[in-house]
Each structure stands twice: as C-alpha cells, then as structure tokens.
Chains A and B, each alone.
Chain A
Amino acid sequence: MDNDKDLLVVENLTKHFKTSFGVVRAVDAINFKVKPGETFGLVGESGSGKSTTGYVIIGIYTPTSGKIIFKGEDVSVHAKRRPKRLKREMAIVFQDPASSLNPTKTIKDLIETPLRIHGLAKNRDERSKRVVELLEAVELPAKDFMQRRPRDLGGGERQAVAVARAIATNPSFIVLDEPTSALDVSIQAKIMKVLMKLQQELNLSYLFITHDLSLMRNAASRVAIMYLAQIVEYAPTPVFFQNPLHPYTQMLLSSVPVLTDQEEMLKPRGVPSRGEVPSAINPPPGCRFHTRCPLANETCRSTAPTFVMVEPDHYVACHLLQK
C-alpha cells in the first residue's frame, strides 16, 4: 500500500499528557492506515486511548511524537497550525450531542457556520438552500427545524444536526467518536443508516470509534482493537469476529451483551472478564494486558510483544502466537 492510495496514514503516533499525578500515556506509538471510502473501526474501553487518537488526528491535541499524514501531507500539528483548506476536508462528530452544539445558536446558524468560514456560498439565499439540502440529507424536516435550538431537539436529532454540520464542507474524512453511545437503540439504527448512506453518496472515509462491538461488526470494514494506549489486534471485520486471537479481544467479545442464542454461539468462551484496566500513568511492564490475562507467562510480564501476521491483513501483538 503506497502513500498515494491511502487517505490517512498514522505512524508511531504518541500522545502523552502531563498532569499533577504524573504523565498519562494516552496513546503509545500506534500505526494504521485508512483508505478512501472505507470505515476503519477503532475499538476499546475507557482508558484505551481510542478517543484521544481521534482527537489528535483531527487536531484538537498536538501529537507528542509520530506522524499524521493526510492525503500525502504531514499534518502532525494542532488544528490551528494546519492550512485552512485541509480543515475543510476533515470533520468530527462528537459523542455528546448536547455539548457539541452551541446552545445559543439556531440549527440554521450551526450548519451555516462552516459554510461561512470557508466561503462556500455566494450569498445568504444560497447558504439557506445549502442548509436545507444538508438537513434533508440527514433526514430531518428542514423547514421545521431551521429556527429551532438544540435544546428543543431529541438526542438523535441533535446528532443528525452534528452530522449535517460535519458534511457541510464536503469533507473526505470524518472522525466519528462514539456517535451513537448517548442514543437510544432505535435512534442509533437511524443514524447509522444515514451515516452509511452518506458514505456511499459522498465517498467518505470514517474513523469509527466505539466500545460497542455489535455496532462495529456492522459498521466497519477493518477493525483495530486498543488496550491501554496500544493496538493489540488488527484485522478485516469478518476475520476479526470469526477468529479473534488476542486474549483481550476474546475477553471483550465474551462480555458483549447479545439478544439471541445464535449470537451467543458466536462469542468466544474461555476468557471471562476479570480485573480492571490498570492506570495509564504506570502501565504494566512487558505486555500491558498481562495483569488480567489468564494465559500470561514470564515473557509476557517482561517483554513487550511485537506484531505477528497471523493471516493476510490480520496482525496480533501477543507472545503466545510467536512460534
């Protein structure tokens, strides 16, 4: 895969935060690539660093080290230092629709803002037309909603507005940070359908961040699983779910709440969940998962594992798979 084909390349990306308790190692040297038009899934629990990864990529944080290469350009800096035209190409949808929309603005204002900033419409009428277009694209009744404020809307509607705002500048890449975690399940389905439809129509790439594996199964084409600031397994979606190899992946999959017996059969056994996520200030030495892993041995406790390619495009960082 050469750089020209990939939309986004993340190389050895690291982000540490200095706090009064010590240095929080939120993301530690992760690598992955996202191709145009695909959905790349990043799964993990709290403390895994998945959201931080998304924020560094979009420019809310400056990377401590490593590179972010977008469409061939090095953008490893804070959003403020990036060229304006690139900010048109990337967008983010946040987890909490209540605080991602300015409560004092009307829906029309909210969606117009990126249009105004980038001068994408010649006059007021054209802008209004575009706002109506965007609201319809996310299946919201435009005339009704233009003058309302976020607090008049339900969670799903607010999130739809956030999506409309994100696609306003015709970006090629969107970071979706747990876009449906705060929503009810029936609304989640609607929003996911809209996101998938938009991806098709506009050839969008998504970095889809979530902790919900059932959601990921249906949304992403490739998945990377993060534990305590590192990626531990990485595979195309069907492969990932049929043949999960890393013990943490298996633990995560075995705790997924499912509704049918058929799904129950798809879950791995043998690694029931136990223990809690260790601190990101002092991660365990060697393999960071060893404190919770029922299969840990001496090597696991002392040496950090490297990636092994188990089958084409399926990589796992676990000593037990090194032969």
Chain B
Amino acid sequence: MRIGIIENLRNFSTRFDLKRKWYRFSRSPLSIIGLVISVATVIIAFAAPFVAPYPQHASLFTDFPHALQPPGSTYLFGTDEFGRDVLSRIIFGFRYSLMMAAVVLALVVPPGVILGLIAGYYRGTWIDTLIMRIADMFIAVPPLVLALSIAAVLTPSVFNAMMAVSLMWWPWYTRLTYNTVSAMRNEYFVQASEVMGASSSHTIFSEILPNCLGPILTKVTLDVGWVILLGSALSFVGLGAQPPTPDLGTMVAEGGQYLRQAWWLTIFPAMAITLIILAFNLLGDGIRDIFVEEAK
C-alpha cells in the first residue's frame, strides 16, 4: 500500500488545514516579508561556513595589517581591531543567536506549556495554586535583573547565559497557556470529552492543547526576537559568549570603544540584531493572524 509523495503531502495539508492558514497568513505583505527574512536568516545561520566569505575569521584569527579597515570591496562590512571580516562574524553571529533562541525555547516551551495546561485544567484546586504561585514568583523579578544575577553567579559562557534566560522565561508560557485553557475549560466539547469517558490526559493533550496552539506559536515566534535581545544584552555586559566567539551582542559591546573611528564595528552588528528581531516580529504577527477567527 504505497501512497505517493503528492498524496502524502495532500493528506498532511488537510490534516493541518494548511491551505486556509496560508490564505490568512498571506493577506498581509508584511508577514510574507517577515517569513522570507526569517527563513533567510535561518538558512544563513545553518550554512554559515559556506556563506561567509571568510569563515576562519569567526574563531581565533588575527591579521593586524588589515585591522580597522572601512567597508570596501574585499571586506564588505570592514574589519575589526583584529583584522577579522565583520560580515563573516555577523553571519556566524546569526548562528549563535538563533541557536541560543532555539535551545532556550526548546527548553522552556514544553515544560511551561504543560504546567499551564495542568494548572488550567485543575483550575481552582491546589495544583493550580501551587503551579501558578511558583510561576508568579519568577515573573515578579525583572527579567534582566534575574538573568544578570544568575549569570553573574555562574561562570560566563554561552551555555550559562542560555540557562539563565531559560529559567526566567518558562512562567510566561505557563501563564499564557493557563489563561487560554481557563477560557476553554467550560466549553461543551471539553465537557463532552469527559462525559464520554476520556481520561484527563486525553482531554488535556488531545482536546484542549490543539486549541491553544495559536497563542503559543505566536508567542514562540515573537520570543525568538526577545531571547536574542536578552542574550545580546548579557553578552554586552560580558556574561554570555566569550571572545573570540562572534556573538552579535559582544560585537556591539566591543565595537563601542571604536565608535568614533570605526563605526562599522558597532553599527552593522546592531543592524543585524534589529533585522532578526524585526523579521521574527513580522512573522509572529502573521502567525497570529492565522489563528484569529474569521468573522462570519
């Protein structure tokens, strides 16, 4: 019983209602722009060693004779104080930023969402109180402060920066999911599921969860930008990626000293950060549009 690839793709499309979702997404040209740029940055990040003109500049490398050269034909974005190509380092910087976003979100979203589902489903009981008050404790501390304190206690590294960010990020997903589930808790289809004999885990994961995906996916997309920003902030103060790792935030920080004579060291990495965040924000808007109910 072999089904062709086309057939499979078609089934997949119906299963997840992709045609309708694409229609809603594509109504806004900005969403398409966001999608294109986001995908482009992801591809660039993956293919960094092949896309960057001088991949070796991304690690230990010095070429002092060519240091601090302005943007030109050999080095499109100029070179930094070690003679390293800024463009190549930015491309590798994308890699680290996106990797950080991917790891943090992968660590944070599943537990955050699951806790929110459980708290929302058992709303009003001690389970709800326990989970939500713990989440509240983490939310109460300003994000940057918490991340800084954690990162300061641990030895500065990309890994520890990611842990720090993860630790303060999960409660937002719990809260978001909790609110979405609470609103849905008394809908007839949830009652129907329970009355039918479904186990609690079936009701939670099979019935309720698919209806929460809208807000969650939107937030994930928008969070890519925020996580990158937070990671860059940590690197800026030296608590994230350590030299010679080409991290966008570090580049902005180090380039700051040379702002007068070599503006390209700071401005281009900063623009790169802005570009990623903007792209994912536009993509997030588009995803949100998909899940907005069409008015009759």
**Shortest Cβ distance from B14 into chain A, in angstroms?**
5
B197 CB within 8 Å of chain A: yes
Scan B44-85; emit 1 where CB is below 8 A from any A CB, else 0: 000000000000000000000000000000000000000000
A243 part of interface (Cβ distance < 8 Å)? no
Residue A79 contacts which of B17, B188, B195, B207 (CB distance < 8 angstroms)? B195
A302 within 8 A of partner (CB): no
Does residue A92 face the partner (Cβ distance < 8 Å to B)?
A: yes
- Whether, in the assembled complex, B187 has its beta carbon less than 8 Å from a beta carbon of chain A, the answer is yes
CB distance A103 to B211 under 8 Å? yes
Q: Chain B: which residue is nearest A88 at the CB level?
A: B197
Decide: A117 and B211 in contact? CB cutoff 8 A.
no
Q: Which residues of A contact B194 (CB under 8 A)?
A: 59-60, 79-80
Chain A: interface size category: 20 to 34
Within 8 Å by CB of B197, from A60, A87, A104, A147, lies A87
Name the interface residues of B7-40: CB closer than 8 Å to any CB of A. Answer: 14-15, 17
Q: Is the CB of B192 within 8 A of A94?
A: yes
Contacts of B14 in A (CB 8 A): 106, 147
A113 to B190, CA, bound (A): 13
Min CB–CB distance B214 → chain A (angstroms): 10
Give bound CA distance, A218 to B247, whole Å: 76
**Is there an interface contact between B17 and A149, defined as CB atoms closer than 8 Å?**
yes
Q: Is the CB of B197 within 8 A of A92?
A: no
Beyond A94-B192, A100-B192, whether A118 also contacts B210 by CB under 8 A is: no
- Partner among B188, B195, B198, B200 whose Cβ is within 8 Å of the Cβ of A96: B188
Interface size class of B (residues with CB under 8 A): 20 to 34
CA distance A84 to B195 in the complex (A): 10
A293 CB within 8 Å of chain B? no
Q: Is the CB of B207 within 8 A of A84?
A: no
Q: Does A99 contact B (CB under 8 A)?
A: yes
- Asked if A101 is an interface residue, CB under 8 A from chain B, the answer is yes
Which A residues touch B197, using CB under 8 A?
A: 79, 84, 87-88, 114, 117-118
B148 to nearest A CB, angstroms? 41
The reply to whether B188 and A100 contact each other, CB–CB distance below 8 Å, is: yes
Contact with A along B203-227 (1 / 0, CB 8 A): 0001100110100000000000000
A200 within 8 Å of B (CB atoms) = no
**B159 close to A (CB within 8 Å):** no
Q: Is A102 an interface residue (CB 8 A)?
A: yes
Q: Which residue of B lies closest to A114 (CB)?
A: B196
Say whether B192 contacts A92, CB under 8 Å.
yes
Interface of B, helix, strand, loop or mixed by DSSP: helix
Per-position binary interface string of chain A over residues 51-62, scored 1 when its CB falls under 8 Å from any chain B CB and 0 otherwise: 000000011100
Contacts of A92 in B (CB 8 A): 192, 195
Interface residues of A in 76-95 (CB under 8 A from B): 79-80, 84, 87-88, 90-92, 94
Tell yes or no: B274 within 8 A of A by CB.
Answer: no
Residues on A with C-beta less than 8 A from B188 are: 94, 96, 99-100
Partner of B191, one of A60, A105, A149: A60
Find out whether the CB atom of A100 lies under 8 angstroms from the CB atom of B198.
no
Query: In the complex, what distance in Å separates the CA atom of A117 from the CA atom of B192?
Result: 13
Instruction: Report B-chain residues with C-beta under 8 Å of the C-beta of A169.
Output: 196
Nearest CB in chain A to that of B188: its residue: A100
At the interface, yes or no: B202 with Cβ under 8 Å from chain A? yes
CB of A111 to closest CB in B, whole Å: 11
Which A145-167 residues sit within 8 Å CB-CB of chain B? 147, 149, 165
Judged by a CB distance under 8 angstroms, whether B245 is at the interface is no
Quote the shortest CB–CB distance from A153 to chain B (angstroms).
13
For A175, give the chain B residue with the smallest CB separation: B195
Q: Does B157 contact A (CB under 8 A)?
A: no
- How far is A113 from B193 in the complex, measured between Cα atoms in Å? 9
Task: Establish whether residues A117 and B195, one from each chain, have CB atoms under 8 Å apart when the complex forms.
Answer: no
Distance of A104 Cα from B210 Cα, bound (Å): 7
Q: Which of B15, B189, B210 contacts A100 (CB 8 A)?
A: B189
Residue among A87, A94, A104, A165 making CB contact with B211, cutoff 8 Å: A104
The listed residue (B17, B191, B198) touching A113 by CB distance below 8 A is B198
Pick the contact of A117 from B17, B191, B198, B200 — CB < 8 Å?
B198
Docked pose: A4 CA to B290 CA in angstroms: 55
Enumerate chain A residues within 8 angstroms of B189, measured Cβ to Cβ. 99-103
Contact status B211-A60, CB under 8 Å: no
CB-CB < 8 A to A87: which residues of B? Answer: 195-197
**Min CB gap B58→A, angstroms:** 44
- Answer whether A59 and B195 are a contact pair too, CB < 8 Å, given A99-B189, A104-B210: yes
With A87-B196, A114-B197 given, name 6 new contacts (CB 8 A).
A59-B195, A102-B207, A104-B211, A106-B15, A117-B199, A169-B196
A-B contact pairs, 8 of them (CB 8 A): A87-B195, A87-B197, A102-B189, A106-B15, A113-B193, A113-B196, A114-B196, A117-B202
* Closest 9 A/B residue pairs (Cβ): A87-B197, A100-B188, A104-B210, A94-B188, A102-B189, A99-B188, A79-B195, A84-B197, A99-B187
